[in-house]
């Protein structure tokens, strides 16, 4: 959906949206499609890209599950034919994929599993008020995935260090108030719009810049690098102004900032893997290049991963249709 398609009802323009967000278009699911559909398609593409038919575990980063209960990951694992592999949702909002990568790394380092399928999938069109221009222009739906496996030291794609953090005092800065145990769904909450995502834009802007910058510095140091050693920074694709500010604070040139927010918008937990897949297709980061991944999300949550760029060929797969 281009800006011209969504702008008129919001009384804004393409220029208004681009200037404030850097977004030109975003994708949204059609009626009858859900997060599990996108997650299964992305998971299948990742398994194909990795040249494997299975994984020992599935971690699905999402804050828009198909249902409140149960979690969505087991259904995704079943649809991918992964037998009785353990599967769970990781809800850290837009930081979910980074959290899931850190968990996958820990499981593999402990020897519990040899491979983990990590998926980031979100359909924020299902929780955004289409009449609220502060959120409607930002969010798109999407999914991305990667297979994380045990490897050899020095192998491209190595996960070298991780850092995670949270601050629950800012939990109201980006939240869907109703639908949980505190405010169960009801007509009065829906009438008040409490079942839609509400953002404190100013606080999110300031916190995102601060937290992603600090997390990146921390994880780079843990890997034994200097920030200037980075060949690529893949930050959560929230808003182009945030991405530019993070790059400036870290002293990184625009050429080292990997992103595709112009074409997909803010896809929440899917944004980091989608940006990586786009960069891999364009071959704009050298294999083995020193890379940092970072994200900030509601909760508040944030995190970062230091890695070397993988020797991977992405596979793009359209969302499957359930039989």
* CA gap 39, 187 in Å, rounded: 31
- Tell me which residue of 136, 137, 141, 198 sits closest to 15, measured CA to CA: 137
Mean per-residue pLDDT for 280-292?
A: 93
Which of 3, 113, 236, 260 is flagged as catalytic?
Answer: 236
Q: What is the pLDDT of residues 222-264, one digit of tens each?
A: 999 999 999 999 999 999 999 999 999 999 999 999 999 999 9
For this structure, is 236 an active site residue? yes
CA 265 to chain centre: 11
Answer whether 121's CB lies under 8 Å from 35's CB: yes
Which of 3, 91, 239, 266 is flagged as catalytic?
Answer: 266
Per-residue confidence band for 191, with pLDDT thresholds at 50, 70 and 90: low
Answer whether 238's CB lies under 8 Å from 260's CB: no
Q: What is the pLDDT of residues 31-75, one digit of tens each?
A: 999 999 999 999 999 999 999 989 999 999 999 999 999 999 999
Which of 91, 94, 196, 260 is flagged as catalytic?
Answer: 94
Q: Which pTM value belongs to this model?
A: 0.93
């Amino acid at each position: 959906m281009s800006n011209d398609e969504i702008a008129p009802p919001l009384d804004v323009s393409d220029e208004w949206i681009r200037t404030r967000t850097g977004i030109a278009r975003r994708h949204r699911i059609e009626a009858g499609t859900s997060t599990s559909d996108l997650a299964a398609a992305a998971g299948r593409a990742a398994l194909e890209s990795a040249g494997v038919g299975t994984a020992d575990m599935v971690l699905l980063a999402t804050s828009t599950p198909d249902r409140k209960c149960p979690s969505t990951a087991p259904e995704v694992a079943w649809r991918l034919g992964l037998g009785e592999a353990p599967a769970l949702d990781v809800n850290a909002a837009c930081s979910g994929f980074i959290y899931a990568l850190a968990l996958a790394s820990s499981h593999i380092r402990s020897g519990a599993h040899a491979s983990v399928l990590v998926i980031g999938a979100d359909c924020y069109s299902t929780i955004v008020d289409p009449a609220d221009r502060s959120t409607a222009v930002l969010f798109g739906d999407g999914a991305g995935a990667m297979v994380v496996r045990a490897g050899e030291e020095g192998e491209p794609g190595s996960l070298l260090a991780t850092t995670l953090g949270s601050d629950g005092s800012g939990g109201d800065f980006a939240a869907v108030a109703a639908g949980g145990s505190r405010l169960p769904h009801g007509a009065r909450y829906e009438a008040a719009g409490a079942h839609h995502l509400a953002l404190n834009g100013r606080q999110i802007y300031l916190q995102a810049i601060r937290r992603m910058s600090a997390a990146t510095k921390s994880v780079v140091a843990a890997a034994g690098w200097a920030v200037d050693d980075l060949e690529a920074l893949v930050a959560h694709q929230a808003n182009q102004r945030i991405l530019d500010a993070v790059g400036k604070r870290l002293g990184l040139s625009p050429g080292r900032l990997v992103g595709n927010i112009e074409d997909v918008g803010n896809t929440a937990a899917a944004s980091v893997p989608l940006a990586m897949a786009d960069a891999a297709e364009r071959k704009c980061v050298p294999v083995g290049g020193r890379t940092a991944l970072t994200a900030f999300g509601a909760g508040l949550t944030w995190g970062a991963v230091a890695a070397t760029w993988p020797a991977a060929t992405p596979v793009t797969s359209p969302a499957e249709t359930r039989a």
